[in-house]
Amino acid sequence: MNLTELPFTIDALREAYRAGLRPEQVIAEAFRRLDAVGDAGIFIHAARENALAEAKALGEPDGRPLWGIPFAAKDNIDVAGMPTTAACPDFAYAPDADAFVVARLRAAGAICLGKTNLDQFATGLVGVRTPYPVPKNALDPAIVPGGSSSGSAVAVAHGIASFALGTDTAGSGRVPAALNSLVGLKPTLGALSATGVVPACRTLDTISIFALTVADAWTALEAAAAPDSADAYSRPIAVPALTAPPPSLRIGVPNAASLVTFGDTVQANDFRATVADLAKGGATIVEMDLEPFFAVARMLYEGAWLAERVAAVGDRLIEKPDTLHPTTRAILEPGLALTAADAFRGFYQLKDRAAVCRKALAGIDALCVPSIPAFVTLDEIAADPIGPNSRLGTYTNFANLLDLCGIAVPTGPRADGRPGGVTLLAAKGRDALCAAIAAGLEAGPLGATGWTRPDASLPDAERPTGDEIAIAVCG
């Protein structure tokens, strides 16, 4: 196979390496692809020489799970030797050390291609709130790339990086996946250490993973996830090998009134078709009123948690507001007026609303929702920088406030050719269940690559043993 046609899925690369391909060839090809795409907005810092040198230094294949796999990191995640900007040039600093997760990925053999563009300080779901060139959506230059992890998503969608790190507070790891026909894995809060990550809402942030397939996202998660004693929000979360989900699942879906698509009937029909597939696969579909979830979602930018973003940006908002993107500044400034008492009132309200949601979730194994309610064009966001952004968070904003894990997965083109996709959400720690369900649904193009989607079937879970060993008793 010609190198220019080689899929950068992890299995395809592993096979090519077994056949003698060199990592430095892969890195060179990655940057050739970047140049061919010609989108100056994807990377804020492309680490061409550094990545090539690392590739050469890898030596011979050594069995490490990510040996020679190229990845990109959102530029609010530290990589030693590269500046961290959070898309705010005045904020830039030179980190001494890799973020905990980056260090784990590199220890597993992965090679970092560089730092990708984002909505400034990870505030946004559109990808246009950056002083750098706006990355182009990999599938349709008229629609927004999605954010805040815009560059990471586009880099993977073009097959430049095998996977990329994003972060996800409001949906920044799922919305860009949906807009670029990718998998966007947002693990349970605390599964991926935040050490070396610029906070947005520290209590609600997580690193996320973009990949072309569920399997690749999961492989990256397996390497990246580990408890980190330096991050008080780190929690041990199980990341077992994926197996097929149990046959009889109860999947919650929005009822008719909750299926919000802002008039996009194609999206509504596409979602219903996916639900029909789930039912055909044996799942029990539970129609749910999502209004309690939407009520939680609204709290992310309307109350206490806005102040958490203010706490993250710090004195800059007061002392150097001109260094902020105008939209970011406009969003954050009301947070300055919130009092600590307001914050507590917000927590009480969330606690009450979360109790209602928890009750609804108790009856299901996972929740399946559209990843986005509708697409947003660059023209729409130019005309109104905030409204369409807010709408993109319809099905994502509530997840971290409710301590859910989630994974956005492409389900194949909609009737109009745009990428269809859903997100599986479940209670904390059920990451593997969500990923397994997603693997049963993933379909359609691998981003913008044109590569053939590999078989995603999962092995059956081993039958439980131990307690159920039959013992012959005689006497």
Tell me how far, at minimum, the Cβ of 432 lies from its own copies, in Å. 26
Which residues, 176 to 205, sit near its own copies by CB under 8 A? 202-203
Candidates 330, 355, 383, 415; binder of its own copies (CB under 8 A) is 355
Quick one: 240 or 334, whose CB is closer to its own copies?
334
- Least distance CB 311 / its own copies (angstroms): 4
Least distance CB 399 / its own copies (angstroms): 19
Q: Which of 343, 443, 456, 461 binds its own copies (CB under 8 A)?
A: 343
Instruction: Number of residues interacting with its own copies: please give it, by CB under 8 A.
Output: 33
* Of 74, 115, 136, 186, catalytic: 74
The yes or no reply on residue 348 touching its own copies (CB under 8 A) is yes
172 is catalytic: yes
CB atoms closer than 10 angstroms to residue 269 = 13
> Is 115 an active-site residue?
no
Query: By CB under 8 A, is residue 383 in contact with its own copies?
Result: no
CA separation for the pair 269, 304 (Å, rounded)? 36
């920044």: which residue's tokens?
172
Cis peptide leading into 148, omega within 30 of 0? yes
Check residue 466 for interaction with its own copies (CB under 8 A): no
Looking at 149, 152, 162, 172, which residue is catalytic? 172
Answer yes or no: 148 catalytic: yes
Per CB under 8 A, does 473 bind its own copies? yes
> 366 forms bridges with which residues in the sheet?
251
Which of 351, 402, 415, 456: binder of its own copies (CB under 8 A)? 351
> Which two three-digit tokens encode residue 28?
């060179």
Our measurement of the distance from residue 186's CA atom to the centroid of its chain's CA atoms, rounded to an integer in Å, reads: 5
Where is 216: in which H helix or E strand? helix 214-224
Kindly state the smallest distance separating residue 308's Cβ from its own copies, in Å. Answer: 5
Is residue 130 within 8 Å of residue 149, measured between CB atoms?
no
Task: Pull the structure tokens for residue 27.
Answer: 């890195």
Helices 23-37 + 10-18 axis angle, to 10? 140
Q: C-alpha angle with apex 165: 295 to 198, nearest 5 degrees?
A: 70
Q: Which amino acid is at 317?
A: L
- Given the complex with its own copies, which of 233 and 294 has the nearer CB atom? 233
Parallel/antiparallel/unpaired status of strands 163-167 and 207-211? antiparallel
| Catalytic sites, residue numbers | 74, 148, 172
Question: Where do contacts with its own copies occur on this chain (CB under 8 A)?
Answer: 202-203, 229, 232-233, 304, 306-308, 310-311, 335-336, 338-348, 351-352, 354-355, 471-475
